[in-house]
Amino acid sequence: MDVYELPKDANEALREKVAKLFMQQISMHGEKNGYNLVRNGIDQVLEKGSRSRIIVAEEDGAILGMALLNIGISLRDGGKYVWLNELYVDNETRNKGIGRKLLLYIIYWAENEHIKTIELETGVSNAVTKHIYNSLGFYDVVSKRYGFRF
């Protein structure tokens, strides 16, 4: 299995594979956002100058997992941080270490990029995901996240 950053010049077929995998995730959560919105988001991540990254796990031409990262600046930490927006593994290939491999890639990449912290959010009842994060050194931060949608 290869884990790598989706290149800015990723071809249409590769972009479509990532979009289809992500559609699997948002369909699970009852999201009504369409495929075109997902594709638009992928295209924006891959634009020149974007501070976002998509990391994929691929085996035999199939995208088995993906992560979406956004790089920001933290005044508290005095430098760049990563917000891990999405981490998703294909339903059929879960519990095979793919999520862990994606996270290890992200940690290694962030350290080499002199990122100060990696932050993320997961559901309070998602024990499997919380176990993976904690086993890799992530820790619980007590907070309440708010949102505003246009």
pLDDT digits (tens, 9 = 90+) for 67-105: 999 999 999 999 999 999 999 999 999 999 999 999 999
- SS3 state at 60: coil
Q: What does the pLDDT look like over 126-145, one tens digit per residue?
A: 888 888 999 999 998 877 77
**Whole-prediction pTM:** 0.90
pLDDT at 28 over 60: no
CATH for 2-135 (3.40.630.30, 3.30.450.20, 3.40.220.10, 3.40.640.10): 3.40.630.30
Give Rg (Cα) of the chain. Answer: 15
Extract the tokens encoding 16. Answer: 């479509």
